[in-house]
Amino acid sequence: MVNYRDLGILESITIHCDRIETVTKGLTKEEYLKNVDYREIICFHILQIGELVKHLSADFVKENKTIPWKKIAGMRDKVAHGYGTIDIEEVWKVAHKDVPVLNQYCKQILALAENQ
């Protein structure tokens, strides 16, 4: 069973994932590369997700090894401390491949908790 604090964190993570998915829906890579606003919005939400992940309990992380929690936190650090050297290609990949997987995983846990 997942504790209430972790459930709250997962709920917040899904909010940021949903926002990334909304912003990137229909967005071409070319549009993303040309528009700094899109990149900043996506990076902001990736940063928030990574910060939230750092607050998940050790027990939760240990029990849910399917998701690379440490890498997510590391991505947050890259975005936060990249000082202009953020790999925008990596951000694109994260937004399109990794975020939907994370979002689905978190929503599944939340749905299971709700039904208990």
Q: Which residues are annotated as catalytic?
A: 76, 81
* Residue listed under structure tokens 């994932």: 17
What is the CB neighbour count within 10 angstroms for residue 39? 17
C-alpha dihedral over 60, 62, 68, 74, to 10 degrees? 80
